[in-house]
Amino acid sequence: MDNSDPESPDLYERAENINQPGIKILWSGFYFALSYLLVSYSGYLVQALNASVIGYDVIFSYEGVSISGGTSPWTAKRIAFVFLAPPLHGMLISWIGFALCHTFTFKYSHLRIFFFWLSINGFALFYSYFFTGILAFGNFYTKYFTGFAAFFAWLYLGKGTITFLLLTFTALFTIYPLLFGWLTLSFSHSSELMERKQGRKIIFLNVLVFPFITGIILVFITTYPLDKAFQVVRWLVYPIVFSIIYSWFLSIKHATAIVKKGGIENRSPWLLLLLMVIIILAGRFLLPVKIVL
């Protein structure tokens, strides 16, 4: 008869150490960093292209977008077309990443984890623009006066109304990260972990927290000091997203009835090291390059 406590500390040793070595966490962290850089850079690229299409002179890089010239004055529609492009692009990327992660089978575990992080990073980009809008507080000269704040200002809404709208949308979109709960559990290899709250804490750490820490360090090494003001705000979004996912983790009763155990395929640490070196070098030399449109 087994008298062991299902919530005992040795749950980690019994179920986790066997099949979840640290290299898998590092691989996940790499995919976080790669998708983060792609989402960030493509967000500025879409904004730059939109501004160029309507006749403005544009210079962009990972540092941001500089817009000047143009033969027509700014209007609310033009502001929406240009300055809402990055956050809306982020939400679109999040939907695409979520759909693809859900579509691929567990056989393609590395593709799934890439699209998983792509979805989370897309949402983080979108969600961060509510916080930058709040930080702007109607100040036209701050870097944060962009996105939703700029659009609402061009609708001639008052400072109080804009702040209220930004806070309201910030609260409403706390529902969205609940979608990531199922996907997070699907990367656990162990049904035993899924069925216990202590086990779900282990899944939470290994699937979200530890890869995030690894990925953020890689992003920092690759990009610092580019766009540091916006990146700091976005990094503060992740604890909010993770807290919502964690709350969902603790609320469900039978996780194995929702998902089947999956995990991530083990791959060479030397290949991972090579890819990390490539992403760092590419980021240091390519991301700062200013492109004129």
pLDDT, tens digit, for every residue of 216-265?
999 999 999 988 889 999 999 999 999 999 998 888 776 655 565 566 77
97-115 average pLDDT score: 86
| Listed ranges 8-12, 18-22, 64-68, 235-239; the one with the highest mean pLDDT | 235-239
Question: Would the pLDDT of 106 be above 80?
Answer: no
Residue 53 lies in a domain: no
Residue 293 lies in a domain: no
More confident residue, 20 or 26: 26
Question: Would the pLDDT of 204 be above 60?
Answer: yes
pLDDT at 7: 46
pLDDT at 254: 63
More confident residue, 101 or 94: 94
Question: Would the pLDDT of 13 be above 70?
Answer: no
145-154 average pLDDT score: 89
pLDDT one-digit tens code per residue, 118-138: 999 999 999 999 999 988 876
Residue 273 lies in a domain: yes
Measured between its terminal Cα atoms, the distance across the chain in Å is 72
Question: Would the pLDDT of 3 be above 80?
Answer: no
Short-list 290, 278, 291, CA closest to 33: 278
pLDDT at 257: 54
Residue 56 lies in a domain: no
pLDDT > 70: percent of the chain: 86
C-alpha to C-alpha distance for 25 and 204, rounded to whole angstroms: 12
Residue 4 lies in a domain: no
Domain encompassing residue 273: 20-47+83-286
Q: How many folded domains does the chain comprise?
A: 1
pLDDT at 102: 84
pTM here?
Answer: 0.88
171: tokens are 């609260």
Residue 101 lies in a domain: yes
104-128 average pLDDT score: 90
Residue 92 lies in a domain: yes
The backbone torsions φ and ψ at residue 253, rounded to the nearest 5 degrees and listed phi first, read: -100, -40
In this structure, which amino acid lies at residue 186? S
Residue 205 lies in a domain: yes
